[in-house]
């Protein structure tokens, strides 16, 4: 590990703080390091491994596609691209919607904002404080967390922020120059901050009244994670544009913008573009992922596991469980670093957040009651100061 650490740090820019191990393989809800130690992954590679690590159906689909055609651009028709788009449209259940494929969540969110501007002929974008939409220039401009933006210069100046959850502030900011309103339906990196009751539906009504495109950044909330196929369905709201990435290809880099009929109506050839977006390999992964998600109705397991977590993760030091489905924030009575370190010693991976008291859980939607019981036991050990025991290796 020391040699590998030195090698990577010699040639890779030091942009991420890393766990103190190198992973070699993964299967289901578990990953193994190069020493053969097994870890329970309740972080999911940052909400990417929706179906667990290396789902066999996705691995097979990628392998078969790679044998036939690795890549050709969007200048040709592609059966697998058409099938992947159809599967996403059906999952989102917004009549008349169409898909633009790209490569990352940031690119999808930039595309969504561009789409809103093209559809309305307006320039300004509204976003919310506490939001995170990516690290490219326009996506970072829409991000509402100052710590991500302070080192950046030259960001777009036609983006304004209003407080998340404040309908009155949204109403005051909306006007005839606002093309789109982008937000995460539940803010993840901010600490799993859910909207107040009625906020999202009220915002949809306001945006429609002002002719503004409502954009749901579903990069983390989408694809079954909230106990429904999308956050839009979980909250019974129909936005004009939705963005997806992270879990969309089960780990293959890809993203998508889904445009509802109002947003798609004025788009023409050349308005959006991406060399690699919608490539055959990525679309094979997308199609396989969406087929498994839909066939197994994995959002139902997300809802069941949320209910189980709320029933069983009951400790004096755990003040609150925020979120919905399997996008959960454990709010502690003090900074979470010590508890996260204790979980890591017990080989359980979880996420941090901008709120230092919050532990984020973003596990695969295949997580089981047995695996949540392992988390509960580990938390019990930590708060009762029992010695750490590493996860067993089957």
Choice among 132, 164, 216, 244 that is catalytic? 132
Choice among 101, 181, 217, 355 that is catalytic? 217
Q: How far apart are the first and last CA of the chain?
A: 22
Burial tier of 206 (Cβ tally within 10 Å: 0-12, 13-18, 19+): middle
Q: Which residues contact 385 (CB under 8 A, 6 or more apart)?
A: none
Supply the DSSP symbol for 69: -
Chain position carrying tokens 């204790």: 342
Bridge-based pairing of strands 38-41 and 348-349 is: parallel
Give the residue among 169, 145, 141 at the shortest CA–CA distance from 155. 141
> How many CA atoms are closer than 13 Å to the CA of 303, on its beta-carbon side?
12
Query: Is 244 noted as a catalytic residue in this protein?
Result: no
Query: Is 5 noted as a catalytic residue in this protein?
Result: no
Choice among 21, 41, 164, 246 that is catalytic? 246
Query: Is 341 noted as a catalytic residue in this protein?
Result: no
Q: What 3 state SS string does 342-379 have?
A: HHHHCCEECECCCCCCEEEECCCCCCCHHHHHHHHHHH
Asked if residues 302 and 309 have their Cβ atoms less than 8 Å apart, the reply is no
Backbone region of residue 387 per phi and psi (left: phi > 0; alpha: psi in -120 to 50; beta: other values):
beta
CA distances from 227 to 304, 306, 359 (A): 8, 8, 20
List, by residue number, the catalytic residues: 132, 217, 246
């Amino acid at each position: 590990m020391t040699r590998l650490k030195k090698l990577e740090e010699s040639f890779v820019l030091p942009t991420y703080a890393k766990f103190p191990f190198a992973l070699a393989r993964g299967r289901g809800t578990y990953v193994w390091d190069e020493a053969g130690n097994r870890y329970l992954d309740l972080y999911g590679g940052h909400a990417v491994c929706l179906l667990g690590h290396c789902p066999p159906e996705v691995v097979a689909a990628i392998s078969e596609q790679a044998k036939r055609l690795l890549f050709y651009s969007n200048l040709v028709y592609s059966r697998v691209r058409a099938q992947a788009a159809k599967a996403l449209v059906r999952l989102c259940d917004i009549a008349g919607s169409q898909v633009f494929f790209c490569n990352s969540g940031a690119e999808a969110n930039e595309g969504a904002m561009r789409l809103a501007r093209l559809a309305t002929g307006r320039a300004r974008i509204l976003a919310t404080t506490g939001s995170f939409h990516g690290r490219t220039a326009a996506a970072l401009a829409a991000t509402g967390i100052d710590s991500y933006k302070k080192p950046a210069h030259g960001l777009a100046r036609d983006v304004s922020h209003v407080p998340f959850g404040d309908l009155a502030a949204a109403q005051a900011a909306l006007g005839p120059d606002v093309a789109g309103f982008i937000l995460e339906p539940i803010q993840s990196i901010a600490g799993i901050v859910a909207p107040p009751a009625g906020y999202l539906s009220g915002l949809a009504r306001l945006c429609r009244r002002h002719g503004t495109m409502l954009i749901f950044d579903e990069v983390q909330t989408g694809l079954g994670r909230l106990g429904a196929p999308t956050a839009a369905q979980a909250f019974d709201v129909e936005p004009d544009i939705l963005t997806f990435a992270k879990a969309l290809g089960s780990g293959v880099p890809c993203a998508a913008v889904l445009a509802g009929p109002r947003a798609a109506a004025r788009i023409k050839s050349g308005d959006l573009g991406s060399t690699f977006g919608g490539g055959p390999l990525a679309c094979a992964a997308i199609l396989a992922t969406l087929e498994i998600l839909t066939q197994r109705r994995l959002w139902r397991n997300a809802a069941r596991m949320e209910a189980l977590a709320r029933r069983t993760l009951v400790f004096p030091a755990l003040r609150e469980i925020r979120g919905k489905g399997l996008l959960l924030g454990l709010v502690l009575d003090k900074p979470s670093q010590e508890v996260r370190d204790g979980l890591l010693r017990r080989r359980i991976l979880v996420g941090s957040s901008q709120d230092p008291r919050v532990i984020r859980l973003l596990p695969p939607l295949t997580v089981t009651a047995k695996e949540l019981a392992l988390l509960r036991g580990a938390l019990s050990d930590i708060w009762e100061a029992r010695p750490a025991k590493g996860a067993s290796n089957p």
